[in-house]
Amino acid sequence: MEFRIEGILRGFNLADGTNPARALYIGALEVTKSSIRTGAVVLGFPDTTSIAIASDASGLSSAMAAQLV
């Protein structure tokens, strides 16, 4: 049995152009969600409202950032 790197990578689509956009989307989503939620709590919003605000705003901003890639 011969070991070849092509066999390991056969199932992966390494030339997929969406991978950088996906990475940017997830990174931006997590960073903005955390910072917006903290800011909403500081402004006095209840916990559930701050989560909703953070999720909405971070989803919108992350989607816009991913479109730039």
CA separation for the pair 34, 14 (Å, rounded): 31
> What single letter denotes the amino acid at residue 52?
A
What DSSP assignment string belongs to 50-61? HHHHHHHHHHHH
- 49 close to 39: Cβ distance less than 8 angstroms: no
**What does each of the 69 residues of the chain score in pLDDT, given as a tens digit?**
566 666 666 666 655 667 788 888 899 999 999 999 999 999 999 999 999 999 999 999 998 888 887
- 32 close to 57: Cβ distance less than 8 angstroms: yes
